[in-house]
Amino acid sequence: MDVFAEVKAHVAAAVGRLAAAGALPAGLDLSAVSVEPPRDAAHGDMATNAAMALARPARMSPRDIATALAGELGKAPGVVGVDVAGPGFLNLRLAPSFWFGVLPTVLTQGTGFGRADLGAGRRVNVEFVSANPTGPMHVGHARGAVFGDALANLLGFAGFDVTREYYVNDGGAQVDVLARSAFERYREACGLEPAIVEGLYPGDYLIPVGETLKAKYGERLLDRPEQEWLTEVREFATSEMMAMIREDLAALGVTMDHFYSERSLYGTGRIEAALAALEGRGLVYEGVLEPPKGKTPDDWEPREQTLFRATAFGDDVDRPVKKSDGSWTYFAPDIAYHFDKVERGYDELIDVLGADHGGYVKRLKAIVSALSDDRVPLDVKLIQLVKLTKGGEPVKMSKRAGTFVTLRDVVDEVGRDVARFVMLTRKNDAALEFDFDKVLEQSKDNPVFYVQYAHARAWSVARRAEEAGFALDDAALAAADLAPLGAPGELALARKLAEWPRLVALAAQHHEPHRVAFYLYDLAGAFHALQHQGKLESELRFVQADAPETTRARLALVRATAVVIAAGLGILGVTPMNEMR
RNA sequence: GUCCCCGUAGCUCAGCGGAUAGAGCGAUCGCCUCCUAAGCGAUAGGUCACAGGUUCAAGUCCUGUCGGGGACGCCA
């Protein structure tokens, strides 16, 4: 139940009645009408722009419409006052009972409160992480993983049927390099000196892979030429890397529904089928590209190759799908992969990519647009860098020196919950500073702590109440008489709780899980403020031993707060803490 | 050269086309006999980079300029 949507329905009904009475034209488009919380609380509880939005299509002055609407809206349930303000805003004042009315709903629905039917069961595929299976994941991957997972949670909560998918780049040259690197570790395990030359992966994480290879094959691969072992070692090493990556993801609390293999696209006709689909639309041709601007390669030679007409979709140049020797470029399997997603019947696609893939976005959108005939929207979310610091000083990262920070390092150092929450306190397209010291700080400056503390305090109040003999059953509290509520802090908190469904809908629409984190910070603030009121005026304390009705009403508010914080943290994938010590 | 992202308080950042642009930190001043002070408040602090445009209404949308970051290849 979204109270803002509810009031908007009243507005629509009022417009309908006025139209029926001839006071407004019939059939007005209400899509520009919004009902939202006013920025300034002095303006009332809710504001609608209806009169201004309808003025032009109705060919009437905003104030005339506003006056007429005010008369109708005054009759709506819960509305105790309607003011026409400014250029034609309608400010609604609502009875406190309207806001407190959200409490039984929260207590009845539990952490399902705020679930929306925005998605209407539409199928959405969220592809994220997709790190190359050549080594452990680093912090950047962690941010993408957390973002993608939280976005998937959010969309699921908003009524979409979500698939989490990981595209495994196991088809390119880099997995051959992995195989050669693992082979050197295998030689090392056999007592030989490994030749980890420039271009191979030097990481220690391949040492156990080499040992397992020795256990598996003994020494019999040692004298064999590369073509005899490459395929087997590659497959083995790749699956070992993917096992490691799955473990890392599990450490972050991320579970994928599908791992989609790039290799499965080769030699199976999938790429050819996707290309044929493009050819059928006249989007593939043989041509010669201009040399890239700005940074012309020394060895540039114009050559004829197979190109995709990406410029027809707003890309800067057409993109090669085949090299001049006839082999596929990296783009070709990506075309096939997105074709496959379209064919699997998804209604929406989301790709979560590192910011270094920015130059790739237009051609991906072009492909999906072309292959779905514009039916399937693709949203590409680019994840900006994570700047790691400790006590304000940058943490140096160097692959060569072996000091680069892995996903696992971060989780081990600060824990899954902190890592996840902090990574969701920025928009995906803004750089994120992650300070190892600050994220563990127990202060208001640290949103993770602040939100967890609010939840723990709510539980602490509940424990106190229980000791004082009050029943804490949410179903019973849902039936509590809420008349004793009404203090300004209580009302502010209830208002914030009532905003949750609307917040979910907005965050889901915009694919912005960080909004949930900021909302929780606000909600926690409203709760801390109210609890503090009890220190200043003891009659405002939640638990009043000699006033059971008041206590029950307040416990309903406290429990509802805990429930919504838990629901929000659930979307972020963070475990709520019931006590801090 | 082209494209993408960013530019909001001293710092770190929110901000849904709506009204007098908000938090935290830092600064100044307050608040614990009492549900977690790990907290709550008050004050000070702004040319929303700049210039045009669209709109009843622009921090928000469009164009351009400047500044910061990133990306461009028969790499993956």
Q: Is the CB of A8 under 7 A from strand B?
A: no
Q: In terms of domains, do A81 and A182 share one?
A: no
Place of tokens 């997603």: A341
* Maximum mean pLDDT: which of A4-8, A77-81, A103-107: A103-107
**So what's the pLDDT on residue A425?**
93
pLDDT band for position A59 (cuts 50, 70, 90): confident
pLDDT of A399 higher than 60: no
- The pLDDT tens digits for A233-264 are 999 999 999 999 999 999 999 999 999 999 99
Task: Calculate what percentage of chain A has a pLDDT beyond 70.
Answer: 97
- The pLDDT tens digits for A175-225 are 999 999 999 999 999 999 999 998 899 889 999 999 999 999 999 999 999
Q: In terms of domains, do A197 and A84 share one?
A: no
Q: For residue A383, is it within any domain?
A: no
Q: In terms of domains, do A76 and A192 share one?
A: no
**So what's the pLDDT on residue A39?**
78
Q: In terms of domains, do A562 and A466 share one?
A: yes
The Å distance, CA of A385 to C1' of B70, is 10
Work out the mean pLDDT of chain A and round it to a whole number. Answer: 91
**What average pLDDT does this structure show over A104-119?**
95
Q: In terms of domains, do A195 and A88 share one?
A: no
Q: Is the CB of A305 under 7 A from strand B?
A: yes
Q: In terms of domains, do A456 and A566 share one?
A: yes
Decide if A182 contacts A209 (C-beta within 8 A): yes
Q: In terms of domains, do A466 and A565 share one?
A: yes
pLDDT band for position A541 (cuts 50, 70, 90): very high
- Residues 6+ away with beta carbon under 8 Å from A260: A165, A166, A167, A168, A337, A340
Q: What are phi and psi of A92, to 5 degrees?
A: -100, 135
Q: Is the CB of A29 under 7 A from strand B?
A: no
Q: For residue A233, is it within any domain?
A: yes
Sheet containing strand A161-168, strands side by side? A258-261, A161-168, A123-127, A348-354, A378-383
Nucleotide nearest to A524 (CA to C1'): B39
The Å distance, CA of A269 to C1' of B45, is 65
**So what's the pLDDT on residue A41?**
74
**What average pLDDT does this structure show over A408-413?**
92
Rg, C-alpha atoms of chain A = 29
**What average pLDDT does this structure show over A143-163?**
97
**What average pLDDT does this structure show over A10-15?**
93
The Å distance, CA of A203 to C1' of B3, is 35
Q: Is the CB of A190 under 7 A from strand B?
A: no
The strand B neighbours among A residues 82-101, by Cβ under 7 Å, are 85-89, 91
Q: In terms of domains, do A178 and A86 share one?
A: no
- Residues 6+ away with beta carbon under 8 Å from A327: none
The Å distance, CA of A433 to C1' of B7, is 17
Residue nearest to nucleotide B56 (CA to C1'): A52
Instruction: Name the 3-class secondary structure at A123.
Output: strand
Decide if A504 contacts A158 (C-beta within 8 A): yes
**So what's the pLDDT on residue A485?**
95
Distance separating alpha carbons of residues A394 and A183, to the nearest angstrom: 36
**So what's the pLDDT on residue A224?**
94
Helices (H) and strands (E) in chain A, counts: 19, 15
Sign for the pseudo-dihedral over CA of A388, A394, A395, A399: positive
Distance separating alpha carbons of residues A23 and A532, to the nearest angstrom: 50
- Residues 6+ away with beta carbon under 8 Å from A514: A424, A425, A426, A427, A428
Q: For residue A288, is it within any domain?
A: no
**So what's the pLDDT on residue A304?**
87
Helices (H), A252-406: 270-280, 331-343, 361-371
Distance separating alpha carbons of residues A321 and A310, to the nearest angstrom: 11
The strand B neighbours among A residues 243-272, by Cβ under 7 Å, are none
User: Please, which residues bridge with residue A36 across strands?
Assistant: A47
Q: Is the CB of A457 under 7 A from strand B?
A: yes
Low-confidence winner among A116-130, A270-284, A390-404 (lowest mean pLDDT): A390-404
User: Of A67, A94, A121, which residue constitutes the final position of a domain?
Assistant: A94
Distance separating alpha carbons of residues A236 and A224, to the nearest angstrom: 17
Decide if A200 contacts A194 (C-beta within 8 A): no
Measuring CA to CA, how many Å separate A46 from each of A3, A11, A66, A68, A489?
10, 12, 14, 18, 18
User: Please, which residues bridge with residue A538 across strands?
Assistant: none
**So what's the pLDDT on residue A461?**
95
**What average pLDDT does this structure show over A116-141?**
93
ipTM of the complex: 0.95
Q: In terms of domains, do A562 and A462 share one?
A: yes
Q: Is the CB of A172 under 7 A from strand B?
A: yes
**So what's the pLDDT on residue A449?**
93
Nucleotide nearest to A445 (CA to C1'): B24
User: Of A94, A121, A144, which residue constitutes the final position of a domain?
Assistant: A94
Q: Is the CB of A488 under 7 A from strand B?
A: no
Q: Is the CB of A553 under 7 A from strand B?
A: no
pLDDT of A296 higher than 70: no
**What average pLDDT does this structure show over A299-319?**
86
Decide if A560 contacts A102 (C-beta within 8 A): yes
The CATH number covering residue A82 comes to 3.30.1360.70
Q: In terms of domains, do A448 and A568 share one?
A: yes
DSSP string computed for A513-579: THHHHHHHHHHHHHHHHHHHHHHH-GGGSS--TT-HHHHHHHHHHHHHHHHHHHHHHHHHT-PPPS-
User: Please, which residues bridge with residue A328 across strands?
Assistant: A322
Q: For residue A562, is it within any domain?
A: yes
pLDDT band for position A566 (cuts 50, 70, 90): very high
**So what's the pLDDT on residue A444?**
86
Q: Is the CB of A543 under 7 A from strand B?
A: yes
Question: Which is nearest to A258 in space by CA: A72, A125, A397?
Answer: A125
Q: For residue A477, is it within any domain?
A: yes
Q: What are phi and psi of A320, to 5 degrees?
A: -70, 135
Instruction: Name the 3-class secondary structure at A421.
Output: helix
**So what's the pLDDT on residue A316?**
83
Q: Is the CB of A67 under 7 A from strand B?
A: no
The strand B neighbours among A residues 91-150, by Cβ under 7 Å, are 91, 132
pLDDT band for position A398 (cuts 50, 70, 90): low
pLDDT band for position A293 (cuts 50, 70, 90): low
Distance separating alpha carbons of residues A348 and A359, to the nearest angstrom: 21
Distance separating alpha carbons of residues A552 and A233, to the nearest angstrom: 66
**What average pLDDT does this structure show over A524-539?**
92
Task: Calculate what percentage of chain A has a pLDDT beyond 90.
Answer: 72
**So what's the pLDDT on residue A2?**
86
Place of tokens 């680069």: A404
- Residue A187 sits in which domain range? 173-251
User: Of A26, A59, A94, which residue constitutes the final position of a domain?
Assistant: A94
The Å distance, CA of A177 to C1' of B4, is 31
The CATH number covering residue A561 comes to 1.10.730.10
H or E segment and range at residue A78: none
Q: In terms of domains, do A89 and A179 share one?
A: no
Residue nearest to nucleotide B13 (CA to C1'): A426
What is the domain count for chain A? Answer: 3
Distance separating alpha carbons of residues A401 and A406, to the nearest angstrom: 14
The Å distance, CA of A203 to C1' of B27, is 49
Q: For residue A520, is it within any domain?
A: yes
Q: Which nucleotides of B are covered by protein (CB under 7 A)?
A: 1-6, 12-16, 18-25, 31-32, 34-41, 56-57, 69-76
Residue nearest to nucleotide B4 (CA to C1'): A358
Q: For residue A456, is it within any domain?
A: yes
Low-confidence winner among A150-159, A281-290, A291-300 (lowest mean pLDDT): A291-300
Q: What are phi and psi of A196, to 5 degrees?
A: -90, 80
Decide if A34 contacts A502 (C-beta within 8 A): no
Q: For residue A530, is it within any domain?
A: yes
